Structure 1
Amino acid sequence: MTTFKSGSSAPIDHTDTGKLTLAQIVEAVAGDDLNIRVTAYDGSSAGPEDAQFGLDLVSPRGTTYLVTAPSDLGLARAYISGDLVLRGGHPADPYEALRALSDDVSFKRPSARTLAAITRSLGLEHFKPIAPPPQEALPRWRRIAEGLRHSKTRDAEAIHHHYDVSNTFYEYVLGPSMTYTCACYPERAASLEQAQENKYRLVFEKLDLKPGDRLLDIGCGWGGMVRYAARQGVKALGVTLSREQAEWAQKAIVDEGLTDLAEVRYSDYRDVSEGDFDAVSSIGLTEHIGVANYAGYFSFIRGKLRVGGKLLNHCITRPDNKANKRAGSFIDRYVFPDGELTGSGTIITKLQDIGGMEVIHEENLREHYAMTLRDWNANLLENWDAAVAEVGEGTARLWGLYMAGCRIGFERNVVQLHQVLAVKLDDKGSVNVPLRPWWRP
């Protein structure tokens, strides 16, 4: 999700004018030199009348959401509930409007006098928390109180919250590939389907898989990697904590005639009993397991590989290794509960520190993820009416906002996407791999 700029102190003070309008309050906290148009249900407005993009606050409930959670979370609550409208964009793809908003709005810290005037003008009723939209998960502190972080039960609940929305809805958004991870575009004009197929090809070739090999795909989603590998003659096992994903994937395996080579289980990866795999792919799972659990996770994978077997870890990362690992309130409540991100350096360090694994390649696909999100928004726009009928307008609006905001985040290097390739060494620290990369870029 994109973030908004912050400033020092508000340059204006309306406290001598009596009760402030909602537009004046926006100016007090966002500056009075807005390039977007702001309108409110009290009839007030701010910013240029001919601005292409803007915000329309259409109800008192929206004000309460903004006041009680003055951050991305409050904006998201008001937007998802329909109490805040982004002018100049469609709810399926608010990217342009959201980018204009994040470019222009620079939230300031009001002076104590201005803050008192804002409080008097709004009225105390808007400072009393109200129920959030139904799409919101419990706050982190409630989840911590109700279950051990990253226990099997709690991980299953977190995955269920995000992935068991509706397979039909995901088909509308993701397209025929049913692949909910960053694609790899062979060229800028490539379609989403070409880019997702190319991503699976890249992972397959990096893992140096050959007919008759065995692959474990952890967090396999709807089985895209599993089915790709099986079509190349590899025996592939995928596991997912989403029951709906597993059911969809198993049906696709049957429909494609791949049952002799491919299987997707509804299972925690920690319950996989088989071993001696030639390769393990982890595509979009590391974000869910918690940074403190990386050592255990990579040790588990090492134990599942034969000597000379390879791991391809593909996950969203931060551009450095110093930032707060936890996601912001909006992402944590609405998208990936308990999700954590860190830099690629931390991932590589954790892999190296467990011993017995050598990192032999890494690359950043940040721009590819921005393009992937662009194409997912376009799919949602194309299927908007059907998507709303399937999951309701609030959930559909949530997905449009989340994907557009994340696109901006990848474009601005707030987040990245790294693939890290590692190989399991023998007990003498050696392994037979080619001297140079053996895959096509």
Structure 2
Amino acid sequence: MSMTIGQVADRIFGPDVPFRFEAYDGSVGGRLDSDIVVRVENERGLRYLVTAPGELGMVRAYVQGDLVLEGVDPGDPYDLLSVFLDKQLVQRPALNELPEIAKSLGINAFRPPELPREEAVPGWRRTVEGLRHSRRRDADAIHHHYDVSNAFYEMVLGPSMTYTCACYPEDGSTLEEAQAHKYDLVAKKLGLEPGMRLLDVGCGWGGMVRHAVQHYGVTALGVTLSAEQAAWAQQRIKEDGLDDRAEVRHMDYRDVAEGGFDAVSSIGLTEHIGIKNYPAYFTFLNGKLREGGRMLNHAITRPDTASNGLKRGGFINRYVFPDGELAGVGTIVSTMQDHGFEIRHVEDLREHYARTTREWCRNLSANWDACVREAGAGTARVWGLYMAGSSLNFERNNIQLHQVLGVKVGSDGDAHYPLRHTFGV
């Protein structure tokens, strides 16, 4: 006797699921009295689940609207994801059950559907765009994630338009206060003073550039591979009357011709560089500094160096950061040391990033309908999953966020650095 889709779901998810499962064939499974309903709407949704069992198949069906979640806030699915992580719900059926399951679902269920438009194609297919971390492929990866819609990002990120970890000075600080405090912390670590020159690589919407010019009296250049970010930043710089000392260019950081900077900030760029390119990256930026100049590298990291590298085929790689690679902070520190920097300070802010992503989820939830109209339901669903999942992974120490401060020591050994830190940490 054939099994229903609901019965197959029970074999896959087991008896402890916290939701009711419903399928388009009218069958049910899971916990029937649950307020949360997971419903497969059509055959295409089933095909996503069958042809990519686990995380990727569920995400594909959900992003396409073929897997519907009732009783879950799509802008902030934190609680549901938490249960999935806690219980590791998806499990492989016993081998002797597979023939019966396959026969029950039918041969069409094993025919892969088209990929959602929000999903980047596998890395091996992107090689036509160039090898991983070539200039063209890096530009395409940045475009995939950052050139969604400035209006969408304004609703999710808030007035600061800052898409990096905030730093909360107090428990009750707001997101905007925490983002301003983060920029202050970076400026102080870099020792910025009036008249200095700052290079900010991977500058996003120009938050660090504007903050440093407004509050520290420097002249600042920011560069980004996102055309939409650069256009937004330049307009904001003009509106703020900073265009005599601030500039954001749409360009690859490797094309910056100027040198002799007093400071370099890299906030959220290293994740896109590729670990094998770290030596060239830090060598190039070291070459942009004067002797005694400082560099602040702010990046998401792994909790150990054994897990360095690209995690292929998962949700983050396909939907959020194509070609993104994370390394343990030890790899960043040792590479900076080997390529011209004396390390002066290292700090982990992972709890701050967990809090930051929770705030972004709340913003997305509060502006859900407008975000869907602006960027599409699929993109909004991706963001809800990404931010809620990020919060959980920062909280559980699966990922971290490190700031590493390095100095380009003079040829005479003078680091032009105070005897003790002056940035209050």
- Structure 1-normalised TM-score? 0.93
Q: Following superposition of structure 1 onto structure 2, how do residues 333-372 of structure 1 map, counting pairs within 5 Å?
A: 333-354=318-339, 356-372=340-356
Contact map agreement 1:240 1:264 (CA 8 A) in 2? yes
Match 2:12 to one of 29, 43, 56: 29
Determine helix, strand or coil for the equivalent of 2:116: coil
| 1:53-80 CA distance string (max 9 Å, x none) | 3422222211111111113211111111
Structure 1 residue 374, shift from structure 2 partner:
0.7
Whole-angstrom distance in 2 between the partners of 1:53 and 1:362 = 43
Residue 4 of structure 1: aligned partner: none
Are 1:253 and 2:270 counterparts?
Answer: no
Aligned-residue CA RMSD (Å): 1.4
Are 1:63 and 2:28 counterparts?
Answer: no
Residue 122 of structure 1: aligned partner: 105
Structure 1 residue 27, shift from structure 2 partner:
2.1
Match 2:285 to one of 292, 301, 307: 301
Q: Which runs of 5+ in 2 are unaligned?
A: none
| 1:224-255 CA distance string (max 9 Å, x none) | 00000110211000000001100000000000
Structure 1 residue 52, shift from structure 2 partner:
4.0
Structure 1 residue 33, shift from structure 2 partner:
3.0
Contact map agreement 2:302 2:308 (CA 8 A) in 1? no
Match 2:395 to one of 400, 411, 417: 411
Q: Which runs of 5+ in 1 are unaligned?
A: 1-17
Structure 1 residue 307, shift from structure 2 partner:
0.7
Contact map agreement 1:35 1:104 (CA 8 A) in 2? no
Residue 185 of structure 2: aligned partner: 202
Structure 1 residue 105, shift from structure 2 partner:
4.0
Q: Following superposition of structure 1 onto structure 2, how do residues 276-291 of structure 1 map, counting pairs within 5 Å?
A: 276-291=260-275
Whole-angstrom distance in 2 between the partners of 1:141 and 1:188 = 45
Structure 1 residue 346, shift from structure 2 partner:
0.6
Residue 12 of structure 1: aligned partner: none
| Matched length | 423
Structure 1 residue 335, shift from structure 2 partner:
0.7
Whole-angstrom distance in 2 between the partners of 1:60 and 1:165 = 30
Q: Following superposition of structure 1 onto structure 2, how do residues 2-401 of structure 1 map, counting pairs within 5 Å?
A: 18-231=1-214, 232-328=216-312, 329-354=314-339, 356-401=340-385
Whole-angstrom distance in 2 between the partners of 1:96 and 1:167 = 28
Paired amino acid for 2:291: V
Structure 1 residue 324, shift from structure 2 partner:
4.8
| 1:65-124 CA distance string (max 9 Å, x none) | 111111321111111111112333211111112212332343333222111111111111
Contact map agreement 1:317 1:417 (CA 8 A) in 2? yes
Whole-angstrom distance in 2 between the partners of 1:197 and 1:416 = 21
Determine helix, strand or coil for the equivalent of 1:113: helix
Determine helix, strand or coil for the equivalent of 2:385: helix
Whole-angstrom distance in 2 between the partners of 1:156 and 1:34 = 41
- Structure 2-normalised TM-score? 0.96
Structure 1 residue 153, shift from structure 2 partner:
1.2
Whole-angstrom distance in 2 between the partners of 1:243 and 1:35 = 44
Whole-angstrom distance in 1 between the partners of 2:110 and 2:37 = 25
Whole-angstrom distance in 2 between the partners of 1:203 and 1:170 = 23
Paired amino acid for 1:277: F
Structure 1 residue 292, shift from structure 2 partner:
0.3
Greater mean alpha carbon deviation, residues 152-161 or residues 19-28: 19-28
Paired amino acid for 1:85: V
Whole-angstrom distance in 1 between the partners of 2:419 and 2:247 = 33
Structure 1 residue 165, shift from structure 2 partner:
0.4
User: Aligned residues: percent identity?
Assistant: 58
